[in-house]
């Protein structure tokens, strides 16, 4: 039986992991390689790296970091951040990424998902969306959650799937960093028409939040979180044991 | 030296890194002599069957792979590389495979008894059907990582492990003689996957 996945997310700036609150107030945490190794040992099913550096130096450091992680950890690695072209796909795939996550780049160039899926396969292309309620409608935001695109989240997700995205990350801006639980209402609504795997993101504060997610949003295949894992508030091993005891099928 | 066949398909970083990690020497190569002199062969692959098949044909390596398989050299096909080992695939039409293992590659979706997502993507646990040297370090029920929309069928006598999905059993691995195929990615399956690669590297 297929297991629900628990995925820690590492925001990397200049080669170091950082975690902010509501996309602001960024602070440094630790070396991505050490953290990734710890997560791997504690049973993380996959790792997601977001490169939040803008400079060329930062990009180079990120490439080194990614290579170092991919050389010692053998679980799926997804990389996002600054992916705007097929060259960007190529750049991170050569450093050991298995999947590449596109967000603003897919909004800017609506052909990017389709072209990448054709070249690298659907399994390689992850559409990541930052979603926020605007006048009661779930709306896609770009540029790290700063720009309202006016695009409906339901439509964008469906279009991404049809274009060839093999997986979807749905991040709620409304619940991100608040630690009050996943945005199950948004996830249910946006997932309704989808047939590709969905990773829920934004809002996990305690292990019960993951149980609520998997119980109330059956379409969610994975739960993603950052700070609660980084700061040791919830251990991945402990979380998976708790989920298993409560009837959620996980890899132990 | 393990020869990882380079025919322009897929991302081989993890595979090379994981072989290095377990202490196995490997080289990504399309050189016939290197393939002949290797201790074992790995046939990787992602993407579409027809496209990969065409690339493999264009590489001119099919005769040497066939010769090496017949001579009994250990060979491991991974994911699409495993599917290529079968006789034919029904992915967008009908295509001929290498035929090293008898059977067909068919779409998962029409066979599912419960409506579940395709691709079958994520960690699923192995159910062993018969002993295999590649599983000598594994215990029953260990998890491995899958990403696929097609699976091998009509190959019951070769199946060594399956996994359950949507009310059916999907072929997780098959073998004939020293030719092995895993539908999952051992190079992405954590410590379990490394144990499988180590066991494969020890087959003579």
DSSP assignments along A30-86, one per residue: --HHHHHHHHHHHT-S-EEEEE---SHHHHHHHHHHHHHHHTT--S-EEEESS--SH
Question: How far is A177 from A154, CA to CA, in rounded Å?
Answer: 23
Enumerate the residues of chain A whose CB falls inside 8 A of the CB of residue B20.
Answer: 71
Question: How far is B12 from B18, CA to CA, in rounded Å?
Answer: 10
A55 contacts chain B (CB < 8 A):
no
Contact status, residue B47 vs residue B91, Cβ threshold 8 Å: no
| pLDDT, tens only, A137-162 | 999 999 988 999 999 999 999 999 99
pTM for the full model? Answer: 0.93
| pLDDT, tens only, B39-82 | 999 999 877 888 889 999 999 999 999 999 999 999 999 999 99
Are the beta carbons of B46 and A222 separated by less than 8 Å? no
Are the beta carbons of A75 and B121 separated by less than 8 Å? no
**For A117-129, what is the mean pLDDT?**
90
Instruction: Please report whether residue A153 resides in a domain.
Output: yes
What average pLDDT is seen over chain A? 91
CA B196 vs CA A229, B145, B200: distances in Å: 30, 12, 6
CATH of the domain at B135: 3.40.50.880
Residues 6 or more apart in contact with residue B127 via CB below 8 angstroms: B140, B141, B161, B162, B163, B164, B169, B172
Instruction: Please report whether residue A92 resides in a domain.
Output: yes
CATH of the domain at A60: 3.20.20.70
| pLDDT computed for residue B143 by the predictor | 97
Contact status, residue A138 vs residue A159, Cβ threshold 8 Å: no
Number of domains comprising chain A: 1
| pLDDT computed for residue A25 by the predictor | 52
Question: How far is B147 from B79, CA to CA, in rounded Å?
Answer: 8
Report the SS3 class of residue B49.
helix
Question: How far is B53 from A193, CA to CA, in rounded Å?
Answer: 34
Instruction: Please report whether residue A180 resides in a domain.
Output: yes
**What's the residue count for chain A?**
252
Q: Are strands B75-78 and B26-29 parallel, antiparallel or unpaired?
A: unpaired
Instruction: Please report whether residue A166 resides in a domain.
Output: yes
**For B178-183, what is the mean pLDDT?**
98
Are the beta carbons of B14 and A196 separated by less than 8 Å? no
**Is B148 an active-site residue?**
no
| pLDDT computed for residue A23 by the predictor | 46
Residues of the domain holding B26 = 2-201
Enumerate the residues of chain B whose CB falls inside 8 A of the CB of residue A120.
Answer: 11, 46-47
> Is pLDDT at A21 greater than 70 in this prediction?
no
Enumerate the residues of chain A whose CB falls inside 8 A of the CB of residue B121.
Answer: 123, 166-167, 197, 221
Number of domains comprising chain B: 1
What distance in Å separates residue A90's CA from the closest CA in chain B?
10
Instruction: Please tell me which of the candidates A3, A93, A97 has its beta carbon nearest to residue B122.
Output: A3
Are the beta carbons of A76 and B187 separated by less than 8 Å? no
Rg of chain B on CA atoms, in Å: 16
Instruction: Please report whether residue A250 resides in a domain.
Output: no
**For B135-160, what is the mean pLDDT?**
95
Contact status, residue A171 vs residue A201, Cβ threshold 8 Å: yes
| pLDDT computed for residue A27 by the predictor | 58
Enumerate the residues of chain A whose CB falls inside 8 A of the CB of residue B143.
Answer: 3, 251
């Amino acid at each position: 039986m297929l297991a629900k996945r628990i995925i820690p997310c590492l925001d990397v700036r200049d080669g170091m992991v950082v975690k902010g609150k509501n996309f602001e107030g960024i602070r440094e945490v630790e070396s991505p390689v050490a953290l990734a190794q710890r997560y791997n040992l504690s049973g993380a099913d996959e790792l997601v790296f977001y490169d939040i550096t803008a400079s060329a130096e930062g990009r180079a450091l990120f490439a080194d970091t990614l290579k170092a992680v991919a050389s010692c950890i053998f679980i799926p690695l997804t990389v996002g951040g600054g992916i705007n072209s097929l060259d960007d796909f190529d750049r991170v795939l050569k450093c050991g990424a298995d999947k590449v996550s596109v967000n603003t780049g897919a909004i800017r160039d609506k052909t990017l998902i389709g072209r990448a899926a054709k070249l690298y396969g659907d399994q390689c292309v992850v559409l990541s969306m930052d979603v926020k309620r605007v006048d009661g409608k779930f709306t896609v935001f770009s540029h790290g959650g700063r720009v309202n695109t006016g695009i409906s989240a339901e439509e964008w997700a469906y279009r991404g799937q049809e274009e060839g995205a093999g997986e979807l990350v749905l991040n709620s801006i409304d619940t991100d960093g608040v630690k009050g639980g996943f945005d199950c209402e948004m996830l249910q609504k946006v997932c309704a028409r989808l047939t590709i795997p969905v990773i829920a993101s934004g809002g996990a504060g305690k292990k019960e939040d993951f149980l609520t997610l998997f119980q109330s949003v059956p379409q969610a295949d994975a739960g993603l979180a950052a700070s609660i894992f980084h700061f040791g508030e919830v251990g991945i091993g402990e979380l998976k044991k708790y989920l298993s005891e409560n009837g959620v099928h996980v890899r132990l | 030296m393990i020869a990882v066949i380079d025919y322009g398909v897929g991302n081989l970083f993890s595979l090379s890194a994981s072989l290095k990690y377990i202490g196995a020497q490997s080289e990504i190569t399309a050189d016939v002599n290197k393939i002949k002199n290797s201790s074992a062969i790995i046939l990787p692959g992602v993407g579409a069957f027809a496209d990969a098949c065409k690339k493999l044909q264009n590489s001119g390596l099919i005769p040497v792979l066939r010769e090496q398989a017949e001579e009994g050299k250990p060979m491991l096909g991974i994911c699409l590389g495993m599917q290529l080992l079968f006789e034919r695939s029904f992915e967008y039409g009908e295509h001929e495979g290498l035929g090293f293992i008898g059977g067909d590659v068919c779409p998962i979706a029409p066979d599912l008894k419960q409506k579940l997502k395709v691709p079958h993507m994520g960690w699923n646990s192995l159910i062993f059907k018969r002993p295999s040297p590649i599983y000598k370090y594994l215990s029953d029920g260990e998890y491995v990582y899958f990403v696929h929309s097609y699976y091998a069928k009509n190959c019951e006598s070769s199946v060594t492990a399956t996994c359950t999905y949507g009310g059916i059993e999907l072929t997780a691995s098959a073998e004939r003689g020293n030719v092995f195929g895993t539908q999952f990615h051992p190079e992405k399956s954590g410590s379990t996957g490394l144990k499988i690669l180590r066991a494969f590297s020890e087959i003579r």
